[in-house]
């Protein structure tokens, strides 16, 4: 068993982004890693429990917390820690060794002091922000945020080519490049996903308390902050859903839905006649074409994904397409279509442009 000062161990946990991800419920699958950590350190369980309480009491990611709110949460955490210490001390009164020599007694005191120090550090920086540093480019691991506040739905292309159709009043955060062992995105609101298959780099969606692990598929998520339920509906493929607050993990397949009841912290599975959750065209649209005019195909894609398609209608007037396009992301569909038409496409944030020679 490893020996170290409890205060140092607590600080190392609080500064570890992987631990904070687990403590906040965004990486529930890492639970075994931190239980192993606790077993390898003296008073590990107590330190781990206190670190979780501090992280949950003071959400590090929320930049809009008031100083009064943080102070109230610190007070709550300290009271909980003191009650735990008193309970442990009462259990040890009959012990052969004096209470003041108890390893937990020392650890708990250090944990409380370290937790308060961490909280005061957060409060100080909230009131005295560091001077801004001018950067010519964002950090490689910075999250990009896309918000759709006006349009009925908006197309977002992720760095791996995956497609997201973002519903109105929804926000998606994702890295500028998927460089780690996981592809992770963060959703607030509603969105439809078509995920590029890559078993070597699994795809995770964090939506409030719910986490969806994707196996290369298409599905919808509805995770609105103030609503009582979070829902996932699968169109094709498989999606595993889980939450730190509920067990076990549910595996959903085609035309299945899982609803996470937040008040009861439980999942409810149901079968669907169709995977319509957000009432947007792409959820139940089929991309089957038989000698269909190319212009009509591109118009259908524009409608389904909520993206502006720019092309020369006169040039495509005599072009037709026969193809079946499945649940692959939009860019894969464009590759197939442009191969058929011997054309090229260019994707920008606001539109997709198709260029090529006229068909004979």
pLDDT digits (tens, 9 = 90+) for 210-245: 999 997 789 999 999 889 999 999 999 999 999 988
Long-range contacts of 96-105 (CB under 8 A, 24+ apart): 103/42, 103/43, 104/43, 104/46
The CA-atom distances, in angstroms, between 228 and each of 222, 224, 260, 333 are: 11, 9, 9, 36
Nearest to 285 by CA among 189, 153, 171: 153
Q: Which residues contact 36 (CB under 8 A, 6 or more apart)?
A: none
pLDDT band at residue 185 under the 50/70/90 scheme: very high
The model's pTM is 0.61
User: Taking CA 69 as the corner, what is the angle to CA 67 and CA 74, rounded to the nearest 5 degrees?
Assistant: 95
Nearest to 78 by CA among 42, 106, 50, 45: 50
Q: Which CATH number fits domain 143-271: 2.60.320.10, 3.30.420.130, 2.60.120.1440, 3.40.50.12370?
A: 2.60.120.1440
Q: Are the CB atoms for 218 and 236 separated by under 8 Å?
A: yes
- Is 81 a residue whose pLDDT tops 60? no
Q: For 105-109, what is the mean pLDDT? A: 40
Element housing 37 (H / E): helix 31-40
Q: Which two tokens stand for residue 144?
A: 């990009």
Q: For 331-342, what is the mean pLDDT? A: 91
Domain with CATH 2.60.120.1440 in the chain: 143-271
The answer as to CATH 3.55.50.30 being correct for domain 285-356 is yes
User: Residue 55: what pLDDT?
Assistant: 73
Q: For 25-37, what is the mean pLDDT? A: 79
- Is 59 a residue whose pLDDT tops 60? no
Domain with CATH 3.55.50.30 in the chain: 285-356
Where does 245-325 have alpha helices with state H? 294-305
User: Residue 84: what pLDDT?
Assistant: 56
């Amino acid at each position: 068993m490893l020996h170290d000062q409890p205060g140092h161990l607590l600080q190392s946990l609080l500064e570890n982004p992987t631990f904070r991800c687990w403590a906040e419920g965004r990486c529930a699958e890492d639970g075994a890693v931190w239980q192993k950590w606790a077993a390898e350190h003296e008073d590990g369980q107590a330190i781990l429990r206190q670190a979780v309480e501090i992280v949950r009491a003071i959400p590090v990611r929320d930049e809009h917390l008031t100083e009064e709110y943080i102070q109230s949460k610190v007070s709550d955490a300290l009271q909980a820690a003191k009650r735990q210490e008193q309970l442990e001390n009462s259990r040890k009164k009959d012990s052969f060794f004096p209470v003041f020599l108890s390893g937990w007694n020392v650890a708990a005191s250090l944990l409380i002091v370290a937790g308060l120090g961490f909280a005061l550090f957060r409060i100080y920086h909230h009131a005295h922000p560091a001077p801004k540093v001018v950067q010519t480019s964002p950090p490689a691991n910075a999250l990009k945020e896309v918000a759709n506040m006006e349009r009925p739905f908006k197309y977002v292309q992720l760095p791996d080519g995956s497609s997201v159709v973002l519903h109105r009043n929804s926000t998606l955060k994702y890295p500028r490049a998927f460089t780690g062992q996981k592809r992770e995105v963060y959703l607030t609101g509603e969105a439809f996903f078509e995920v590029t298959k890559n078993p070597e780099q699994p795809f995770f969606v964090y939506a409030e308390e719910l986490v969806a692990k994707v196996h290369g598929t298409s599905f919808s998520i509805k995770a609105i902050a103030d609503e009582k339920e979070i829902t996932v509906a699968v169109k094709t493929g498989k999606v595993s859903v889980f939450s730190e607050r509920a067990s076990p993990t549910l595996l959903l397949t085609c035309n299945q839905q899982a609803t996470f009841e937040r008040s009861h912290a439980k999942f409810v599975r149901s079968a669907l006649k169709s995977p319509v959750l957000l009432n947007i065209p792409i959820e139940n649209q089929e991309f089957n074409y038989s000698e269909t005019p190319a212009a009509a195909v591109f118009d259908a894609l524009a409608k389904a994904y909520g993206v502006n398609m720019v092309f020369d209608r006169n040039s495509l007037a005599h072009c037709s397409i026969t193809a079946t396009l499945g649940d692959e992301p939009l860019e894969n569909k464009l590759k197939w279509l442009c191969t058929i038409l011997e054309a090229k496409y260019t994707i920008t944030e606001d539109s997709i442009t198709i260029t090529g020679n006229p068909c004979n």
